[in-house]
């Protein structure tokens, strides 16, 4: 195996080295391999982190697995193994230390009480719970126990508006509890040393990078499934995610330039062409930012509460993929009819124009685009008074 990257790491406690390891990447027979070799009491132990053909996926796994080790206390002996762009200073450093302390010294009973208050408040105001207060803010309040508005405002995540809206109710809960710490919170700076903060920050990154690595793995399997001609249900069983999440990932793939048309076509086989054309027309008229208006335009106001609404929304998302692809295609190359260069909007006007106007625009020149965009042909067929112009 040809090693292309190698770096050593050490774990220190009280200034003494208590552990050492190496992270490496190599290439063998057109496959990438990556692993972690750690010195233990029983000798060197090797843990293979990745084996496969995707360089990008390997880098995602590298960032995720390495940040776990950094969170455990390992530090590279040569700088550059981990690029940490976030430099904490001033208020940012203070806020992170407060959050770190609160998550390391939990007050679970009070946190549960505050969570119950938030749930009732969110239901009463018909808001999402996180708009009332985040989990992190509730954790801060439960640990530091502010008893006045001034103390409440010292916690990160609390501004004048939140204090005015919910301060009295929050303080009514916290005042019932005795606290072992005091305000102001300057003492936290000494209570959380740099090593503790560093390990905690890496653990926060680990959660984010784990999600990214898992998502990239699902994305790769989705592309493989499309190439193999699998349908959505078969791919869903392979990657173990919900159908809605899978369809949303298809939309992301389209944005990144991948072709998903074969899968979209297979999933829409049971949907009549005129129904597809009606959805496309609704997107033209209402835009593609929100699905509910399109759903109600095509299927009626009661469709939003229908038992099959999930299926309808899924089809709307699939057709939206085609619609957005078409819009991007017209932006890249505007079709020509006669000597007129047409935009997507002009094409829409052409299709819905009267007979004489279309004839004047030399209708035969649109045939090529009808073949390239089946939905457009279906849309034209939907207009009964235009059937005589179909070749």
- pLDDT tens for the chain, 391 residues long, are 788 888 888 888 777 888 889 888 898 888 888 899 988 777 788 889 888 777 777 887 888 888 788 878 888 876 655 555 444 455 677 888 888 888 888 889 999 999 999 999 988 888 888 889 899 899 999 999 999 999 999 898 888 999 898 999 999 999 998 888 888 888 988 888 777 787 777 777 777 777 777 777 788 888 888 888 888 888 888 887 888 888 888 888 888 778 888 888 888 888 898 888 999 888 888 888 888 889 898 888 887 787 888 888 888 999 888 888 877 665 555 444 444 444 444 454 544 445 444 444 444 444 444 444 554 555 555 544 444 433 3
pLDDT value at position 355?
Answer: 47
CA dihedral 215, 57, 213, 5 (to 10 degrees): -170
Distance of CA 123 to the CA centre of its chain: 26
What's the pLDDT score for residue 385? Answer: 42
Residue with tokens 């072709």: 259
pLDDT score of 262: 85
DSSP H or E stretch at residue 28 = strand 16-28
**The whole model's pTM is what?**
0.48
For residue 340, what pLDDT is reported? Answer: 41
Sorted by sequence, the CB contacts under 8 Å of residue 165 that are 6+ apart come out as: none
Reported residue count of the chain is: 391
* Sheet bearing 16-28, strands edge to edge: 43-52, 31-40, 16-28, 2-13, 74-76
**What does DSSP say about strands 43-52 and 2-13: parallel, antiparallel, or unpaired?**
unpaired
Helix (H/G/I), strand (E/B), else coil: 191: helix
**Distance from C-alpha of 323 to C-alpha of 27, rounded to nearest angstrom:** 42
Token pair of 379, please?
Answer: 């849309």
The C-alpha atoms of residue 283 and residue 373 are separated, in whole angstroms, by: 16
Fill in the DSSP letter of residue 5: E
Write down the pLDDT at residue 376: 52
d(CA 117, CA 171): 12
Q: Which 8-state DSSP code applies to residue 156?
A: T
């Amino acid at each position: 195996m040809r090693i292309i990257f190698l770096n050593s790491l050490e774990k220190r406690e009280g200034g003494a080295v208590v552990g050492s390891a190496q992270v490496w990447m190599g290439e063998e027979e057109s496959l990438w391999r990556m692993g972690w070799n750690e010195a233990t009491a029983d000798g060197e132990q090797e843990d293979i982190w990745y084996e496969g053909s995707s360089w990008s996926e390997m880098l995602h796994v590298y960032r995720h697995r390495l940040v776990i080790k950094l969170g455990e206390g390992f530090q590279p002996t040569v700088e550059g193994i981990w690029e940490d762009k976030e430099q904490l200073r001033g208020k940012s450093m203070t806020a992170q230390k407060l959050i770190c302390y609160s998550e390391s010294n939990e007050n679970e009973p009070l946190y549960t009480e505050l969570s119950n208050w938030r749930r009732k408040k969110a239901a009463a105001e018909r808001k999402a719970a996180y708009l009332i207060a985040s989990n992190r803010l509730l954790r801060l309040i439960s640990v530091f126990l502010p008893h006045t508005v001034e103390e409440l405002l010292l916690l990160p995540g609390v501004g004048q508006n939140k204090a005015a809206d919910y301060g009295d109710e929050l303080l009514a809960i916290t005042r019932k509890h005795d606290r072992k710490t005091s305000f102001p919170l300057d003492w936290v700076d000494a209570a959380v040393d740099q090593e503790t903060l560093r390990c905690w920050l890496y653990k926060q990154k680990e959660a984010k990078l784990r999600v990214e690595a898992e998502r990239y793995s699902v994305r790769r399997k989705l592309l493989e499934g499309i190439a193999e001609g699998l349908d959505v249900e078969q791919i869903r069983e392979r990657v173990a995610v919900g159908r809605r999440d899978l369809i949303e990932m298809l939309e992301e793939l389209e944005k990144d330039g991948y072709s998903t048309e074969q899968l979209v076509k297979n999933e829409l086989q049971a949907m009549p062409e005129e129904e597809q054309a009606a959805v496309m027309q609704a997107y033209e008229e209402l835009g593609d930012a929100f699905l509910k208006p399109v759903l109600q335009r095509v299927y009626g106001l009661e469709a939003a509460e229908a038992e099959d609404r999930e299926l309808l929304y899924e089809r709307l998302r699939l057709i939206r993929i085609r619609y957005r692809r078409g819009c991007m295609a017209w932006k890249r190359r505007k079709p020509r009819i006669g000597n007129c260069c047409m935009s997507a909007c002009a094409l829409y006007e052409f299709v819905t124009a009267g007979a004489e106007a279309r004839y004047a625009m030399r209708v035969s020149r649109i045939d090529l685009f009808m073949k390239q965009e089946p939905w457009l042909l279906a849309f034209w067929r939907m207009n009964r008074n235009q059937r005589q112009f179909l070749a």
